[in-house]
Amino acid sequence: MPWLSRKEQHAADDNRIAASLSHLRALEFQARGFSFLPRQPVQSILSGRHGSRLRGRGLNFEELRHYRPGDDIRSMDWKVTNRTGKPHVRVHTEERERRVHLLVDQRVSMFFGSQRSMKSVVAAEVAALAAWRVIASNDRLGGVIFDDHDCYRIPPRRSRESVMELLSRLAKSNAELAAGQTSKPSQLNIAMDNLARGLSHDALVIYIGDGFGWDDRSDELLKKMSMHNDVIVINIFDPAEIELPRLDELIVSDGEMQIAVSGNPARLDERFRDSYNAHVGHMLNVLKSYGLPLISVNCAEDPVNQVLKALGARR
C-alpha cells in the first residue's frame, strides 16, 4: 500500500494481526446493504428457500381479559370463553425490537492467518459489522465473547454503548492472543452453554468462529438454542487450513519450538484436507438437520464483501 505513510502502514499491518478498537469502530460506515431481518433478497443464504426462516419481530402476548365492546372478535380465546362461560380475548402488543446475541470465538485456534489477516481479526471484523447493523435496525445487541480461559457476557441493549463494550472486548481479546498459548477445545461448549442459559425465545444467535472443539455436546447445545430462536453459524477459515502450501519441506512452529514436516506431499495434503472437511462436514450436517444456515468467510478476502455476498446484497 504505497499511498500510506509509514505510520499508517504500520497501523494497517497491526490490524491484520490484532484488530484495534478504532479499526472496528470504522466498520460502522461499511455495515450497510445487508440485514438479519426476515425478508431477504432471493440470493441470500437466509432467504425462504433455506430451511431456516428468521422469525423477526412479531406479537408478544400481554394479557387475557374480559371481552369489551369494540374488541376484535378474531382475538377471542374460545377455550377460556367456553371454560368460564364469559367471553375473553387475548391481548398482544407488537414486538418492536429483537435481541441479537453474538457468540464470538477468540481462542488461540483463531490466531492463525496465511494471507490477509488472522482468523481472530476476521471474526472481530464480522462481529463488528453485525453489531453495527443490529443497532442500525433498532434491535438489542448482546452476546458472549470467549477465549481459552473466560467468557465475557454483554447483556442485550439497544445502544451504541453496547456496541462499544463489545468492540472494546474484541480489541482486547485480539491484543492478548499470541502463539504458544494453551488451547482449550472444551471452551466452545462452555461458551455455548453460557449463552444458552440466558436465552428466552425469538432471539437471533450468531456464532462467529472456526468451530474448534465442536462435538456431540455442541450438537445438543445448538439444538437447545435453535428450538425457540434463530441461529446462524459464520465459519471463519483460512485457505491454508484446507490445502497445505506447495513446499518440499514445511516448517511449523508454536512460537517457541518448531519442526520440519516432509515426506509424501500428496499424501500429507490429502490427510490434511480430509481432516478439515470432516470437521466442517460435521458442523454442516448438523446445521442442515436443524434447517440452520452456514456462512463461510475466509481470511484471504475482504470480509465486508463476503458478508454482503452471503446475505444477497451487491457491493
User: How confident is the model at residue 142, as a pLDDT?
Assistant: 94
Top-confidence residue, 2 or 66: 66
Q: What is the pLDDT of residues 101-126, one digit of tens each?
A: 999 999 999 998 888 899 999 999 99
> Which of 128, 136, 243 is CA-nearest to residue 174?
128
Local structure of residue 181 (DSSP, 8 states): P
Pairwise CA distance, residues 18 & 28, whole Å: 18
What residues are paired with 91 via a beta bridge?
Answer: 63
**Could you tell me the pLDDT band of residue 36, with boundaries at 50, 70 and 90?**
confident
Min mean pLDDT across 158-162, 190-194, 261-265 is at 261-265
Provide, rounded to the nearest whole percent, the portion of the chain with pLDDT above 90: 46
Instruction: Say if residue 24's pLDDT is above 60.
Output: yes
Q: What is the pLDDT of residues 259-315, one digit of tens each?
A: 666 655 566 666 666 677 677 788 888 998 888 889 999 999 999 999 998 887 655
Pairwise CA distance, residues 210 & 213, whole Å: 9
Mean pLDDT for the chain overall: 82
**Could you tell me the pLDDT band of residue 10, with boundaries at 50, 70 and 90?**
very low
Q: What is the dihedral of CA 92, 36, 137, 61, to 10 degrees?
A: 10
Pairwise CA distance, residues 252 & 267, whole Å: 18
Instruction: Say if residue 210's pLDDT is above 80.
Output: yes
Mean pLDDT throughout 89-93? 74
Q: 13-22, 62-71, 111-120, 121-130 — which one is most confidently predicted on average?
A: 121-130
Top-confidence residue, 279 or 256: 279
- The answer to whether 212 and 189 are in contact (CB under 8 A) is no
User: How confident is the model at residue 35, as a pLDDT?
Assistant: 78
- The alpha carbon dihedral of 168, 173, 175, 176 has a sign of positive
User: How confident is the model at residue 262, as a pLDDT?
Assistant: 61
**Could you tell me the pLDDT band of residue 95, with boundaries at 50, 70 and 90?**
low
Mean pLDDT throughout 19-42? 84
Instruction: Say if residue 71's pLDDT is above 60.
Output: yes
Q: What is the dihedral of CA 163, 165, 171, 173, to 10 degrees?
A: -120
Grid cell, residue 93, equals 402488543
Whole-model pTM?
0.76
User: How confident is the model at residue 218, as a pLDDT?
Assistant: 94
Instruction: Say if residue 165's pLDDT is above 90.
Output: yes
Top-confidence residue, 243 or 28: 28
